[in-house]
């Protein structure tokens, strides 16, 4: 990891895929940073001062200046450390636009319904949001085919912006599959995405920052159990 001479601190929470995005980007760039684990139930003074608007992690503090929102942070890292490690976004304006298009798709069409899987209280609701999440994978499979041009990643030969955004979800995909007993990313229906998930998991940077799937299963299962119990007690 390159010591850039800058003071770089990342406030995070271990289970957050948004935090893993930033960790993955910094690892891929080879930029060293200090990681600080936050307790979301008892946010530190530095946390609240640094992100008073959203009060969420990740927060990257670069030489004392906070940068918030994971996508903003990724783009900041790409620009602030442009000379360090490989770029995340392509140089060509059209290819950048395409990468940003799929980034927005991942956020709006995939992560929005998937987030609901962990916020609803009944098996029926969970199945419905899981179905909507799975339905968003078809166009994404086509997007991977278009962006990768026959290479391994959305970024082509290299791991790019969309790879980082989506890659950070892989431990949660595996955990969701284990909890539900169903394949979310089915190699029969989305062969490119299924192979891409294995490929990105094999990167040294991913191995260094991806959460342990057993730990995510325990954490996510706990959320679902608590929500279901709370709903049952109010009936
Ligand atoms: N849009 C934000 C989402 C970040 C987010 O939702 N972070 C969650 C953890 S996964 C959080 O900090 N929640 C605050 C809380 O639970 O109080 C981003 O991309 O950074």
Residue 55 CB contacts under 8 Å (≥ 6 apart), including other chains: 43, 47, 48
Atom from ligand 1 closest to the CA of residue 43:
17
- 232 pLDDT exceeds 90? no
Domain containing 190 equals 93-222
- 2 pLDDT exceeds 80? no
Q: Which of 80, 102, 134 represents a domain boundary (last residue)?
A: 80
Give CA 145 to chain center in angstroms.
20
Is the Cβ atom of 18 under 6 angstroms away from ligand 1? yes
Residue 128 CB contacts under 8 Å (≥ 6 apart), including other chains: none
Instruction: Give CA–CA dist 17/20, Å, rounded.
Output: 5
Strand order in the sheet with 59-62: 34-37, 8-12, 59-62, 65-68
- CA 87-202-219 angle, 5° bins: 100
Is the Cβ atom of 172 under 6 angstroms away from ligand 1? no
Helix (H/G/I), strand (E/B), else coil: 12 = strand
Could you tell me which residue, 231 or 46, shows the higher pLDDT?
46
The pLDDT assigned to 6 comes to 86
Residue 97 sits in the same domain as residue 213: yes
What is the dihedral sign for C-alpha 81, 87, 91, 97?
Answer: negative
Q: CATH no. for residue 44? A: 3.40.30.10
Is the Cβ atom of 69 under 6 angstroms away from ligand 1? yes
Mutation to probe ligand 1, out of 15, 43, 56 (largest number of atoms < 8 A from CB): 56
What's the CA-to-centroid distance between 205 and ligand 1, angstroms? 22
Task: Answer whether residue 165 is part of any domain.
Answer: yes
Task: Answer whether residue 1 is part of any domain.
Answer: no
Per 3-state DSSP, what percentage of the chain is helix, strand, and coil (rounded to 5)? 60, 10, 35
Residue 160 sits in the same domain as residue 206: yes
Task: Answer whether residue 109 is part of any domain.
Answer: yes
DSSP 56: -
Residue 186 sits in the same domain as residue 135: yes
The pLDDT assigned to 43 comes to 98
- Indicate the range of 19-23, 68-72, 116-120, 171-175 predicted with least confidence: 116-120
Residue 119 sits in the same domain as residue 172: yes
Residue 115 sits in the same domain as residue 153: yes
pLDDT one-digit tens code per residue, 131-152: 899 899 999 999 999 999 999 9
Identify the residue whose C-alpha is closest to ligand 1 atom 2: 69
Is the Cβ atom of 40 under 6 angstroms away from ligand 1? yes
Is the Cβ atom of 114 under 6 angstroms away from ligand 1? no
Task: Answer whether residue 123 is part of any domain.
Answer: yes
Domain count, the chain: 2
Is the Cβ atom of 130 under 6 angstroms away from ligand 1? no
Residue 100 sits in the same domain as residue 73: no
Q: CATH no. for residue 129? A: 1.20.1050.10
């Amino acid at each position: 990891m390159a010591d850039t001479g800058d003071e770089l601190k990342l406030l995070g929470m271990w289970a957050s895929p948004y935090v893993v995005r930033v960790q993955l980007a910094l690892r891929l760039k080879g930029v060293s940073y200090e990681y600080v684990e936050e307790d979301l139930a008892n946010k530190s003074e530095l946390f609240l001062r640094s992100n008073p608007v959203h009060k969420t992690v990740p927060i990257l503090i670069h030489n004392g200046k906070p940068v918030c929102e994971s996508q903003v942070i990724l783009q900041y890292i790409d620009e602030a450390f442009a000379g360090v490690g490989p770029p995340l976004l392509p140089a060509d304006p059209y290819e950048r636009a395409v990468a940003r298009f799929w980034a927005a798709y991942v956020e709006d069409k995939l992560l929005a319904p998937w987030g609901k899987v962990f916020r609803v209280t009944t098996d029926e609701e969970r199945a419905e949001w899981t179905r909507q999440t799975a339905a968003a994978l078809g166009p994404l499979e086509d997007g991977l085919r278009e962006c990768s041009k026959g290479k391994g990643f959305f970024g082509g030969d290299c791991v790019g912006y969309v790879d980082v955004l989506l890659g950070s979800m892989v431990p949660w995909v595996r955990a969701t599959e284990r909890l539900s007993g169903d394949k979310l990313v089915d190699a029969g229906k989305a062969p490119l995405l299924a192979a891409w998930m294995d490929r990105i998991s094999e990167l040294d940077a991913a191995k260094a920052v991806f959460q342990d799937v057993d730990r995510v299963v325990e954490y996510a299962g706990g959320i679902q159990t608590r929500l279901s119990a709370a709903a049952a007690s109010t009936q």
